[in-house]
């Protein structure tokens, strides 16, 4: 198979779909890999490294899309990239379709086979291709929140960990999954007062066993969320419904009654966000203010630490990339129910139920497409 890796074009996105080591792995299986010139240069992966791994360096993205049987990316294809996809071509990347009707329509129109990293499941029931970026984003969320609590960034002028004689800041984390757990570790490390809210009591019990009285845990209800958010200096939104739009847990009324200069970091923004006032931002303009509350809603947070993120992501994605290349999409999806769960759009049909439901579109199962 001929596999193409275009240079990412989303705002301040420096990650790359394949590392030289991943290229070498695919080449060792007899496949041809095309890498767009300078695709990894910004993170120290120059063209010479890719060439040494066996890749062909290609000048333009249009050449990549025209020649590749499978396109491997990091972020969802932008409008110009969607226009270059063709029927029967495999697209293997993050998609986050539920809050994005325009991208979904473009992928349906293309006739491509679109496999989303974020809905591929693992043998333990998790989302192993989403997990590494959730780990990065969870840790970054505390860094970003702490920075924007500084007065020059519009925040309350608060040091999260406090100092002797001065109380620390209060961090509220919505969701005790991968994002929430990594945010929790960072917040506790800084010495903040931390409250974690989730519907999974077993998960809250696990966190309590690990962190003890260094954190507070609350079962998620409208009342517990409201009470915690109104007392918070920093709120991290890390809730996830796989493949579906994120629930709006924090309302506009909550935001209006929060402390002025408080910060919210919406890590769920790729799935539409869990704050009613959220809208996607970029690394170039990461924040906006609503009712005196600073909103950080960058849709590709891990792109800021692109080298770490690229290697972590490739560790998770390369196995399925090799399977798709070796077996073709039909063979690979027939052999793995977990990879099959990643099929979101296929040959003009929406094949992920949550996406179809959230966007009001018809649903065709992956099994039907394979049959």
Name the catalytic one among 100, 198, 266, 270: 270
- Whole-angstrom CA distances from 269 to 62, 98, 300, 301 are 29, 11, 9, 10
Q: Are the beta carbons of 195 and 173 closer than 8 angstroms?
A: yes
297 within 8 A of 235, measured Cβ to Cβ: no
Report how far residue 108's alpha carbon sits from residue 117's, in angstroms, rounded to the nearest whole number. Answer: 18
Surface-to-core class of residue 86, CB atoms within 10 Å of its CB (0-12 exposed, 13-18 middle, 19+ buried): exposed
Residue with tokens 């994120």: 246
Which phi and psi angles does 228 have, rounded to 5°? -70, -45
Catalytic site residue 270?
yes
Residue among 31, 96, 148, 295 flagged as catalytic: 96
- The three-class DSSP label of residue 189 is helix
Q: How far apart are the first and last CA of the chain?
A: 22
Active site residue 96: yes
DSSP 8-state class, residue 243: T
Q: Which of 119, 151, 11, 134 is nearest to 342 (CA)?
A: 119
Which residues, other chains included, contact 155 with Cβ-Cβ below 8 Å and sequence gap of 6+?
148, 149, 261, 262, 263, 294
- The residues that are catalytic are 96, 270
């Amino acid at each position: 198979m001929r596999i193409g890796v275009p240079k990412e074009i989303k705002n301040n996105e420096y990650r790359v779909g394949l590392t030289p080591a991943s290229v070498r792995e695919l080449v060792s299986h007899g496949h041809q890999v095309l890498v767009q010139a300078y695709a990894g240069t910004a993170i120290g992966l120059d063209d010479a490294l890719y060439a040494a791994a066996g890749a062909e360096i290609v000048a333009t993205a249009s050449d990549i899309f025209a020649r590749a049987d499978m396109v491997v990316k990091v972020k969802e294809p932008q409008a110009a990239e969607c226009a270059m996809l063709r029927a029967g071509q495999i697209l293997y990347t993050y998609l986050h379709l539920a809050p994005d009707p325009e991208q979904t329509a473009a992928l349906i129109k293309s006739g491509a086979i679109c496999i989303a990293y974020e809905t591929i499941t693992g043998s333990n029931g998790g989302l192993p291709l989403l997990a590494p970026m959730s780990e990065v984003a969870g840790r970054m969320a505390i860094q970003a929140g702490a920075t924007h609590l500084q007065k020059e960034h519009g925040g309350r002028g608060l040091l999260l960990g406090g100092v002797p004689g001065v109380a620390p800041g209060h961090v509220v984390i919505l969701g005790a999954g991968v994002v929430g757990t990594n945010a929790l570790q960072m917040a506790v490390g800084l010495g903040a007062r931390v409250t974690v809210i989730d519907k999974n009591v077993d998960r809250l019990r696990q966190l309590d066993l690990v962190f003890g009285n260094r954190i507070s845990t609350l079962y998620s209800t409208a009342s517990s969320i409201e009470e915690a958010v109104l007392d918070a200096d920093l709120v991290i939104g890390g809730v996830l419904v796989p493949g579906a739009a994120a629930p709006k847990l924090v309302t506009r009324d909550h935001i209006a009654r929060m402390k002025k200069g408080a910060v919210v970091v919406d890590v769920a923004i790729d799935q539409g966000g869990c704050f009613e006032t959220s809208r996607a931002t970029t690394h170039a303009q990461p924040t906006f203010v609503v009712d005196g509350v600073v909103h950080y809603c960058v849709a590709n947070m891990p792109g800021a630490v692109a080298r770490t993120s690229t290697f972590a992501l490739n560790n998770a994605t390369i196995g399925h990339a090799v399977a798709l290349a070796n077996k073709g999409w039909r063979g690979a999806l027939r052999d793995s129910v977990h990879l099959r769960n990643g099929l979101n759009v296929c040959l003009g049909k929406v094949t992920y139920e949550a996406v179809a439901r959230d966007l009001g579109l018809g649903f065709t199962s992956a099994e039907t497409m394979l049959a």
